[in-house]
Amino acid sequence: MSPQTVLVKGARVLGGEPADLLLRDGVIAELGQSIDAGDARVVQADGLVALPGLVDLHTHLREPGREDAETVDTGTRAAALGGFTAVHAMANTDPVADTAGVVEQVWRLGREAGHADVRPVGAVTVGLAGERLAELGAMADSAANVRVFSDDGRCVDDAILMRRALEYVKAFDGVVAQHAQEPRLTEGAQMNEGELSGRLGLRGWPSVAEEAIIARDVLLAAHVGSRLHICHLSTRGSAEIVRLAKARGLPVTAEVTPHHLLLTEELVATYDARYKVNPPLRTADDVAAVREGLADGTIDIVATDHAPHPVEDKECEWDAAAFGMLGLETALSVVQHTMVDTGLLSWSDVADRMSFAPARIGRCDAGTAAQGRPLAVGEPANITLVDPSVSRTVDPWQSASLSRNSPYEGMKLPGQVVATFLRGRPTVEDGALT
Amino acid sequence: MIRHLLSAADLSRSDATLLLDTTEEMLRLTEGRSVKKLPTLRGRTVVNLFFEDSTRTRTSFELAAKRLSADVINFSAKGSSVSKGESLKDTALTLAAMGADGVVVRHSASGAPYRLASSGWIDARVLNAGDGTHEHPTQALLDAFTMRRHLGDLDGRKIVIVGDVLHGRVARSNVILLNTLGARVTLVAPPTLLPLGVENWPCDVSYHLDPVLPDADAVMMLRVQRERMNAAFFPSAREYSRRYGLDARRFGLLSDEAIVLHPGPMNRGMEITADVADSERSVIVEQVSNGVCVRMAALYLMLAGADETADDVHEGAA
């Protein structure tokens, strides 16, 4: 494809002063004031904030296996609408992404769809069974160029297996992304354990089950000198452990989901399974703690954990319902609402937490398809234009996702992605897919 | 009157008192009569929707509805499409299409009756007949009714509830309702069988049974499943009954007026010994007969004239 030349006029780059950006041949060719349009198509961006294309380190695109819930095509459409130019696709598909064949298939589906770069995550263990290592090297060396490995959905709870995985991926600069959930402490768990779970009669998922694994893995990573990434950190205690680890200079990174930045366990009292997610929605105190953690850099990134499920898997008894919520199309709005409008983060910080840092952790910040690069001349033209001044009421039935399980249905959220450019080519314009 | 009975917390003190007074009336109208039937719910349809086996509770609701002359349909998981994977939603839509006025729901999943009542799938009144480890409000009502018959007004009365509070729905509903009625509840259990945050419930908590018995006006023993010891909730059945079982010695610590309750089914020899269960101050059998009257009262208050009541019009508009 030969991208057209586009002149973005008057966008506030990272929320700063208005500037023009000339996008040509997939890169930012010029950046400055009053750039001559020439033969370029002009996109008026007065009042819009220009961010680097967002990078999601944690999504479930469900393909192969659950194409009734989502496909790579529909999931990346949702991603583009949410301002993302790259998404990492978790390995818990059917078949599991534990071989070079499956990760290459997912990667290729992403290329064919063309809405956003798809970076497959490889399973740590064969079939996510937690018994023996998957062929991590083969996935790393494949066309999919896997650098993030995770059994997400399940915890690599076996300490020796976790240690070996952490060590092994050093050979190709990989990172293990841990789903921190001590399995015995969370058997049959349905919601955050606390006074409310006792009142609602739902099996509790205690904070300690997350924190114990994070503490162990931080120590393991320190012991073997490996990078560790913590998926969907959700408690105050977890944030404290990661803060301590970083103070010691350990190479530990962590993510928080938009829903853990906004929603609390009180919603579970409706027994409406849209609010069922793993790790569960926590208390207001935990929400305050993860916001603080994201603001002070303890938590490096926001990742959506976009988890589509068909209606029948949510419209049922709480115990029987699936865990997970949609997130791609609402992530930036939730971050604006919880972090920017509250003064905790600047737009420049948002660029770091949602683009630069996740690309760095996923090692997709270099090479021909580099993501999470600065908005500067010569850099790939991966750009998201967001209008922070508008607000909208979330309607999951308007979603590009095949699924409707948004916990924000009916909520009014600020900000709207107006345009997304993937290497200079618009994937979204005027708030709609191109 | 309330539209649905999903939790004991749905009942204000006046609602609860009205229910208990109506139960008294139902008892008076049926006790000792050869013809126990009242015409109040003639033409109304009550569905007993049981996703979980419970012959005792289902029979009690069935008898209650029949004594009020309602048409009763038993829709149980076994032998119905539920076991073939029909969803709660589809079952609800089916019952709605059949014109059910009241649905009595028993389900192994906490909150299932709540979903049924709040989802808009069905317009019927929903009565929770026990959901998961959440609540069992009519059990709490029959317990309160039984206690009131023996103790009079429950305001200020001391009630001790012993056993598996964590997995039990009876204790939850009882704590809420008895607190609403002004009674003072003490829960007694090993710490492993108490939910996190129980210290914030409107009751006292004790790990020891002996000290709380002399002051008690009523003691309710809850069923404790022996299998719990396999999940390390307690070391052995023997140790459990030694520390928390109601035996003759502990029975002797009670005042002469104190009564003993058990929601059943009992594990004789586990949480209660046979001699205590069969003693004169045990009201366990009476609980069963009162159960029918309490359910008659609930069905009557919620279903009789349901179409005409002012609150119904209001709810319909909301």
Q: Report the complex ipTM.
A: 0.90
Q: What is the pLDDT of residue B225?
A: 82
CA distance B132 to chain A (A): 7
CB contact under 8 A, B109 and A198: no
Average pLDDT over residues A132-156: 98
Nearest-by-Cβ selection for A317 from B109, B172, B198: B109
pLDDT of B218-270, one tens digit each? 999 999 987 777 788 999 999 999 999 999 999 999 999 999 999 988 999 99
Reported as type and span, the H/E element at residue A18 is strand A18-24
pLDDT of A185-203, one tens digit each? 999 999 999 999 999 999 9
- pLDDT > 90 fraction of chain B, expressed in percent and rounded: 79
**Which of A286, A300, A305, A313 does the annotation list as catalytic?**
A305
A305: annotated active-site residue = yes
Minimal Cα distance from A271: which residue of B?
B111
Coil vs helix vs strand at A337? helix
Q: What is the CA radius of gyration of chain B?
A: 20
Q: Do A264 and A284 form a contact (C-beta atoms < 8 A)?
A: yes
Average pLDDT of chain B to the nearest whole number = 91
CB contact under 8 A, B196 and A194: yes
Q: Is the pLDDT of residue A266 over 90?
A: yes
Task: Please confirm whether the linkage preceding A279 is cis (ω < 30° from 0).
Answer: yes
Contact of A201 with chain B, judged by CB distance below 8 Å, is answered with yes
Strands, sheet with B259-261, edge to edge from the N-terminal-most edge strand: B204-206, B184-188, B158-162, B218-221, B259-261
Which of residues 321 through 380 in chain A touch B, CB cutoff 8 A? none
Q: What is the CA radius of gyration of chain A?
A: 20
Q: What are phi and psi of A127, to 5 degrees?
A: 65, 20
Rounded to whole angstroms, the Cα distance separating B274 from B289 reads 20
Q: How confident is the model at residue B317 (pLDDT cuts 50, 70, 90)?
A: very low
pLDDT of A124-134, one tens digit each? 999 999 999 99
Rounded to whole angstroms, the Cα distance separating B179 from B173 reads 10
Q: Which residues of B touch A (CB under 8 A)?
A: 87-89, 107-112, 114-115, 118-119, 131-135, 166, 169, 172, 195-198, 200-201
Beta bridge partners of A391: A414
B195 marked as binding residue: no
Minimal Cα distance from B175: which residue of A?
A199
Confirm whether A6-49+378-433 and A53-361 share one CATH topology.
Answer: no
Q: Do A137 and A95 form a contact (C-beta atoms < 8 A)?
A: no
Kindly report the length of chain B: 318
Rounded to whole angstroms, the Cα distance separating A273 from A252 reads 33
A60 marked as binding residue: yes
Q: Is the pLDDT of residue B82 over 70?
A: no
CB contact under 8 A, A272 and B115: yes
* Interface-testing mutation among B90, B107, B114, with chain A (most A C-beta atoms within 10 A): B114
Q: How confident is the model at residue B53 (pLDDT cuts 50, 70, 90)?
A: confident
Q: Is the pLDDT of residue A273 over 80?
A: yes
Please state the separation of Cα B204 from the chain's center in Å: 21
pLDDT of A279-305, one tens digit each? 999 999 999 999 999 999 999 999 999
Please say whether the dihedral angle defined by the alpha carbons of residues B195, B196, B201 and B204, taken in this order, is positive or negative: positive
Q: How confident is the model at residue B313 (pLDDT cuts 50, 70, 90)?
A: very low
Nearest-by-Cβ selection for B109 from A198, A315, A318: A318
* Interface-testing mutation among A203, A271, A274, with chain B (most B C-beta atoms within 10 A): A271
Amino acid making up residue B59: T
- pLDDT > 70 fraction of chain A, expressed in percent and rounded: 99
Separation in Å, CA B172 to CA A197, B8, B23: 12, 8, 22
Average pLDDT of chain A to the nearest whole number = 97
A323 marked as binding residue: yes
Rounded to whole angstroms, the Cα distance separating B242 from B201 reads 27
Q: Is the pLDDT of residue B87 over 90?
A: no
Average pLDDT over residues A137-153: 98
The DSSP result for A206-262, as a single string, is -HHHHHHHHHHHHHHHHHHT--EEE-S--SHHHHHHHHHHHHTT--EEEEE-HHHHH
Domain segments of chain A as ranges: 6-49+378-433, 53-361
Minimal Cα distance from B231: which residue of A?
A184
Nearest-by-Cβ selection for B111 from A194, A196, A318: A318
CB contact under 8 A, B133 and A197: no
CA distance A317 to chain B (A): 5
CB contact under 8 A, B172 and A201: yes
Give the domains, in start order, of chain B with CATH numbers. Answer: 8-135+288-305 (3.40.50.1370), 137-287 (3.40.50.1370)
Q: What is the pLDDT of residue B36?
A: 80
Residues of A in contact with B200 (CB under 8 A): 195
- Give the other-Cβ count within 10 Å of A253's Cβ: 22
Q: Is the pLDDT of residue A153 over 80?
A: yes
Q: What is the pLDDT of residue A1?
A: 42
Nearest-by-Cβ selection for B115 from A198, A200, A271: A271
Q: Whose CA is closest to B262, among B273, B248, B254?
A: B273
- pLDDT > 70 fraction of chain B, expressed in percent and rounded: 93
Q: Do B134 and B170 form a contact (C-beta atoms < 8 A)?
A: no
Q: Please list, in sequence order, all residues whose beta carbon lies within 8 angstroms of the beta carbon of residue B41, skipping any fewer than 6 positions away.
A: B65, B68, B69, B70, B299, B300, B303, B304
Rounded to whole angstroms, the Cα distance separating A107 from A105 reads 5
Q: How confident is the model at residue B85 (pLDDT cuts 50, 70, 90)?
A: low
CB contact under 8 A, B109 and A270: no
CA distance B305 to chain A (A): 29
- Give the other-Cβ count within 10 Å of A370's Cβ: 16
Q: Do B147 and A176 form a contact (C-beta atoms < 8 A)?
A: no
Average pLDDT over residues B167-196: 97
Q: Is the pLDDT of residue A75 over 80?
A: yes
pLDDT of A2-32, one tens digit each? 458 999 999 999 999 999 999 999 999 999 9
Q: Is the pLDDT of residue B309 over 50?
A: no
A6-49+378-433: CATH topology: Urease, subunit C; domain 1 (2.30.40)
Q: What is the pLDDT of residue B201?
A: 96
Per CATH, the number for A53-361 is: 3.20.20.140
CB contact under 8 A, B111 and A271: yes
CA distance B69 to chain A (A): 32
Coil vs helix vs strand at A162? helix
B264 marked as binding residue: yes
Least confident range of A57-71, A106-120, A260-274, B67-81? B67-81
Q: Please list, in sequence order, all residues whose beta carbon lies within 8 angstroms of the beta carbon of residue A22, skipping any fewer than 6 positions away.
A: A5, A6, A7, A8, A28, A29, A30, A31, A35, A40
A-B CB pairs within 8 A amount to 72
Amino acid making up residue A361: I
Q: Whose CA is closest to B54, among B128, B163, B165, B140?
A: B128
Q: What is the pLDDT of residue A182?
A: 98
CA angle in degrees (0–180, nearest 5) for B142-B146-B151: 140
A20 marked as binding residue: no
Q: What is the pLDDT of residue B307?
A: 53
Beta bridge partners of B74: B48
A248 marked as binding residue: no
